[in-house]
Amino acid sequence: MGIEGKLSIVLKTGADNCQATIGSTRPLQTPDIFIGKSVTELLTGIPLLYSVCGTAQGIAAINATEQALGLDSTTDLQVARTILVEIESIREHLWRIELDWRKFATTLSAKPGSQLSLWLPKTRQLLYQGNSPFELDSTIKPDIHELKLLFNEIHQFVTTEIFNQSPEQWLSMEEHDVLAYWARNNQTVAAKAIHALIEDQFRIPKLQFLDKIEPKEMAQLLFSDKGAAYAAMPHYQGQCAETTPLARQKNHPLLTSLLNMGGTNLLTRMTARLVELAMLVTGLDKQLDELSLKKTKSYPEIITRCGIAQVEASRGRLIHGLQLDGQLVVNYRIVAPTEWNFHPQGVAKQALEQLKPFDLKKLKIEANLIINAIDPCVAYELKVE
């Protein structure tokens, strides 16, 4: 078991329903190791500490630190950080498709593992030319030409291996029937998976999607006397909330159509991953255009000696909260997407409890599909009793 810990999920079956219990061994006190350390030690340590979405973790840490110190950054630097997080998210989405959806199709025409793993370090090198993106005085020296070539490679891979058409064309779909036609008439692993679920009548009610939370409000939640408990089991306005690709992309017309038909079922969730993947890939050129614009200063909202960063990572919103005394850390909290989505009363529990226990083998398959669709950032163990 890594430092991230794991989830223990127990699904108890009754005569005609299921009861889900979600436990966690995640060491949520891990950020406490930075208390009393300098901001330099913090910024060096965070990306090394987390093996999953380490880039998003590092970007959240540098953004929170700059806010706590009242430092400004330039817009091109903020765009560079966004690009890194988005490339990491593209990689994570593609890995999940490769790992979880392959059961619906025998092969992909390419072996993407090594190719996907190269995109993020290449992007980092082309943006920063050897500088660290997680240092306060870091600068960027983007090679726009080479970045464009790399982004074209990513676009071509997704076009060929996922959609069998350009992601721009795929995003033009707005209705269930058009999605069904695409899935039926294409042989990619993504199309095969969607085709297998297209007749899914299994309906899961919608949980509250996580809205924007202002930094000052989040600081109050994280640094109150109950801040540690909040970080372990977060809620918003007294309710559990979902932060997933579906929560971010819910207003896309295709997802609006699917939500109206089947709620947040597997078809809707897996389609949401495809929508987000296509949105990220098609947005890379726009990010390059913004990177090329004249630099302007970007000023963080000032919260006295406190920094709050909210980064949209591949699995949902990642929140870092930091309090400083001079250059020393006096309090540090991290709320990962897993704490929202696998809250003991959250979206994973509610989705699993919609399953019917009539076929235990099928039940376990469906339960694993739901868990992987919601996607914890740690390993999990599922027991069906």
All structural domains of the chain with their residue ranges: 1-72+208-241+299-385, 73-203+269-290
Q: What is the pLDDT of residue 16?
A: 85
For 249, the 3-state DSSP assignment is helix
Q: What is the pLDDT of residue 113?
A: 61
Q: What is the pLDDT of residue 180?
A: 95
364 and 382 in contact (C-beta within 8 Å)?
Answer: yes
- Listed residue (140, 80, 151, 154) closest to 112, CA to CA: 154
| Distance, CA of 20 to CA of 87 (rounded, Å) | 34
Q: Which DSSP helix (H) or strand (E) runs through 8?
A: strand 6-13
Residues 320, 321, 326, CA angle at the centre, nearest 5°? Answer: 125
State the amino acid at position 196 in one-letter form: A
375 and 270 in contact (C-beta within 8 Å)?
Answer: no
Give the pairing of strands 6-13 and 328-335: unpaired
**Helical axes 266-282 vs 284-291, angle rounded to 10°:** 40
Helices (H), the chain: 39-49, 54-69, 75-100, 113-128, 144-158, 167-170, 176-184, 189-197, 215-222, 227-232, 245-249, 253-262, 266-282, 284-291, 337-341, 347-352, 360-374
| Distance, CA of 340 to CA of 207 (rounded, Å) | 11
Structure tokens at 272: 């949401």
What are the b/e assignments for 324-349, b being 16+ CB within 10 Å? beeeebebbbbbbbbbbbbbeebbbb
What does the pLDDT profile of the chain (385 residues) look like in tens digits?
Answer: 346 788 999 999 988 889 999 999 888 888 999 999 999 999 999 988 887 789 999 999 999 999 999 888 888 999 999 999 999 999 999 999 988 888 776 554 555 567 889 999 999 999 999 999 999 988 999 999 999 999 999 999 999 999 999 999 999 999 999 999 999 999 999 999 999 888 766 667 677 899 989 999 999 999 999 999 999 999 988 889 999 999 999 999 999 999 998 888 899 999 999 999 999 999 999 999 998 876 776 656 656 689 999 999 999 999 999 999 999 999 999 999 999 999 999 999 999 998 888 888 888 988 998 999 998 988 899 999 8
162 and 171 in contact (C-beta within 8 Å)?
Answer: no
Which residue carries 């072996």 as its tokens?
Answer: 111
| Distance, CA of 165 to CA of 318 (rounded, Å) | 32
| Distance, CA of 210 to CA of 236 (rounded, Å) | 7
